[in-house]
Structure 1
């Protein structure tokens, strides 16, 4: 399997405190990689680096065989992340899911939005025109996931996406996330305290302790 991400000699510090130290870390293209570890172990820091939202103090990040020094818009368009707290625009469900497509000047936006909502278990007839404040926590998280899936990302990063959600929403998010690997070859990196799910879906699971990979 060809490496899509490769990190070498990564070190990150916050206020002088080392939070991440990785000699080597890689993610194969089309793989599902799980990240486990206690709070504060460095998982979210690593995810921000993989999403090109944060650069390390030292070390190198390679993506698709090329070193990334100053990530450009094209890279950020290939990689998207869903976190525990969904961020929705103060608009309708349809406007939220369509936003990224409209920014890119894509066609067939309405149909693609409907398909994406169906993928996360939301009936377009019931949800398209619903406002952001009318959604439950689980529904909001599924809308946030739909807004990412509609972009057909090359990489989907999931940072505790189902924490505090009800069982139905959790299962729908799990199923929709994994299906994009099967249907589109999307690479996934998943942070979750749901170890049973990680073990079920991941090709490889890495455990982080104190910012380092545990043996």
Structure 2
């Protein structure tokens, strides 16, 4: 497998306080990578760097062999992140899932096909859910719609930051299955932060453990 990310001597600070310090960190394309550690250990900061939502105060990030230097906004089209709190637009399920495709100029037939495929992938029947409004969804359903919206754009990288921390067992299992299937079906790179060590151990090709902003091994 080829390298997709390489971080070298990366330091991130907030208000002068160092929250992450990595000498080296590599993610291979098409792999599933698990990140574990206590709250405040630097995992979520690393995820924001990998999503190109932040720039480190020092060090270098390489993506697909290119140094990330002012081109993060362009690269964000290839990377998507799902966090613990689902963010949905105040509109129907269909419009939530189709939103990213519309921004990318997809045609109507492609949009309808991708919305159906993505809803099925997260265990939601399109006929039952497409026309539901955001406020008619349970917490687990809302998170699955949020994941479907991300799967619909077929990202190169899917970042999952504690996506199932407060969900019911059924939704948790369906999100787990959809994430793994995305890698198996399309070669998508999946990076997971989770306190569910059984899941990380089961699905990850590599697990990195963090403590106090440093990678232990």
TM-score, normalized by length of structure 1? 0.98
1:117-147 CA distance string (max 9 Å, x none): 0110000111000000000000000000000
Larger displacement relative to structure 2 (11-20 or 139-148): 11-20
Are 1:3 and 2:27 matched, yes or no? no
Q: In structure 2, how many angstroms separate the alpha carbons of the residues matched to 1:12 and 1:76?
A: 19
Question: Deviation at 1:73?
Answer: 4.0
Q: In structure 2, how many angstroms separate the alpha carbons of the residues matched to 1:129 and 1:146?
A: 15
Q: In structure 1, how many angstroms separate the alpha carbons of the residues matched to 2:55 and 2:176?
A: 29
TM-score, normalized by length of structure 2? 0.98
- Equivalent residue for 1:155? 157
Computed over aligned residues only, the root mean square deviation of the Cα atoms, in angstroms, reads 0.8
Q: Secondary structure at the match of 2:38?
A: coil
Unaligned runs of 5+ in 2: none
Q: How does 1:13-162 map to 2 (within 5 A)?
A: 13-107=13-107, 108-162=110-164
Stretches of 4+ aligned residues off by more than 3 angstroms: none
Length, aligned pairs only? 215
Question: Deviation at 1:72?
Answer: 4.4
- Equivalent residue for 2:216? 214
Q: In structure 2, how many angstroms separate the alpha carbons of the residues matched to 1:70 and 1:179?
A: 33
Q: In structure 2, how many angstroms separate the alpha carbons of the residues matched to 1:11 and 1:75?
A: 21
1:166-185 CA distance string (max 9 Å, x none): 00000000000110100000
Unaligned runs of 5+ in 1: none
Q: In structure 2, how many angstroms separate the alpha carbons of the residues matched to 1:187 and 1:11?
A: 24
- Equivalent residue for 1:187? 189
